Amino acid sequence: MTEPTNKHLHEANRQSWNEATAAHNSHKVDQAGFLRDGGSTLFPEEVELLGDVAGKRLAHLQCNAGQDTLSLAKLGADAVGVDISDVAIDFAKRLSEESGIPAAFHRADVYDWLDAARDANERFDIVFCSYGAICWLSDLDRWAAGIHDNLVPGGRFVTVDLHPVSMMFNERFELTYPYFGEAKAIKWDDGIQDYVAAAGEALAPSGYQEGVRDFNNPHPVYEFQWDIGASLTALLSAGLRIDQYREYPYCNAAKLFDHMREVPGRRMYPPEGTPSIPLMYGVEAAKPG
């Protein structure tokens, strides 16, 4: 396939993620020990949609620093993690070694990896991504086709992600941004922020420490605002069958707005007295057998 039109934007995002990933992990205490001693970074929503992963070959796209990938490997998956960030993948490899949990990790643009895996005739029982993955995709049709081509017949795609409705609001929970992004890149000059510091223990289940202070990312990022219809239509057009679509009135761990209400389970709801909106959604799709 030809290179994605926005490959230069992906590379800009790689640099921003490299800066941010080091800051994020600086706040998390002994992640290897946490995983080794029975801890998991997974939430109930993705565990339920994924089902039993034991013995399944699983590709985790945009895996960041590998914590969820290794949590899935602990459940018995033969897991492969892919991420564009050099720093994230280097950390994931060290975390795998130090925790004693085996998984394979590859540093690659997700589109390049999907093409290479297809050409190498690799096939997976499950392809998975989650929590802030879709907004970095510049071409949904190519992404969905790559997922289809890398699944075995009967294989499944699963995602739990932030709902695009939640992206319409600024940090003060004021309606600010459009729902329909029209596949246009949105530039954020301040880059990937230290959202782990903002969330505290909610995003550091191994334990939170101060780590990097007053993080300032020198690299801007480019996001793509996709409405739900665009995402589901891309999967359907690629030949996948949508088996489940769910919406949730909370998001897991991420403090998207000022004064969000945290309830047990690290779930975050909008500020008190504001209307309920979908903050997260889940999809299970299958490749017909």
- Residue 14, classed as helix, strand or coil, is helix
pLDDT at 2 over 60: no
What is residue 5's predicted lDDT score, i.e. its pLDDT?
67
Tell me the residue length of the chain: 289
Q: pLDDT category, 182, cuts 50, 70, 90? A: confident
Q: Using one digit for the tens of pLDDT, what is the confidence trace for 185-194?
A: 999 999 999 9
pLDDT at 177 > cutoff 80: yes
Query: 7-286: which CATH topology?
Result: Rossmann fold (3.40.50)
Q: Put the strands of the sheet holding 251-252 in their side by side order.
A: 251-252, 267-269, 261-263
pLDDT in tens, 25-50: 999 999 999 999 999 999 999 999 99
Instruction: Tell me what pLDDT residue 121 has.
Output: 95
HEC readout, 48-90: HHHCCCCCCEEEEECCCCCHHHHHHHHCCCEEEEEECCHHHHH
Please report the pLDDT score of residue 289 as a whole number: 87
pLDDT of 212 > 70? The answer is yes
pLDDT digits (tens, 9 = 90+) for 244-276: 999 999 999 999 999 999 999 999 999 999 999
> Which residue do the tokens 């960030």 mark?
85
pTM over 0.85: yes
Average pLDDT over residues 220-236: 96
Provide the pLDDT for residue 79. 98
Per-domain boundaries in the chain: 7-286
